[in-house]
Structure 1
């Protein structure tokens, strides 16, 4: 049997690992962000977050390039990814990538107060310091759709509620 045939057989026999989307989010402290500016120039960054009612909230400064991109409602992709030190295979790190829409939360609103309190519980007293700085805004990331991967042959489409819609097995990897 050729190496190519062996690889294709292994791919067909690969069993998807049960999705654990919520567990990945719970053990991840920051979200990786991909934003674009008015000229379409991409920017990669990250921000600590808290999840409340299927939305992700981040407290970010206008001194950071991604904040302007987020505040102007441009396209955003958010990724939650397994820590490299915890992965068994770096090529198959568990990850959730989601297209999100954004909204800015009004300072001094009940929602602001609630979310900042939960950010403080999750990330510590530094949140009190950031909350006092006027260049910081609170942004909600609203999931639209995405993809969850938790191993080779184990990729899924997810909906706006981060629920698994279907297994992505429409094509196998190609070999020489």
Structure 2
């Protein structure tokens, strides 16, 4: 991953970079993806300064990846006991910092893929389910320097 003239190690999806992304294929979509906002677990670290719209992650927050749900590929409030595969408040640290990328969101096409995030990488460097992941310190270095209209170029 590069930000200006500086490069950082990153991890992509286990399916590699795909031009024809589909839900569940494990691929990271090829393209220019806008950074939509910054979601952060403020209970696990101080807020990162950024020009991106900010929202603290709450226990009921989830991302809908159910193609049959009318809320597909959107941030949702999960009712107590409601199933949701992409809960944002996780026991591990992967979603302590999340930047949803603008993929399949204008318009949303069911099955084209959801929840393409820029998030914290696993310590062992394992691939993601289709997202882009970096070490937490990369966010602290890069996010304060990005414009509100920044894009991530994949491919």
Give the TM-score of the pair, scaled to structure 1: 0.25
Structure having the higher Rg = 1
**Structure with the higher strand share, 1 or 2:** 1
**Structure with the higher helix share, 1 or 2:** 1
Higher relative contact order, structure no. (Cα contacts within 8 Å, ≥ 6 residues apart): 2
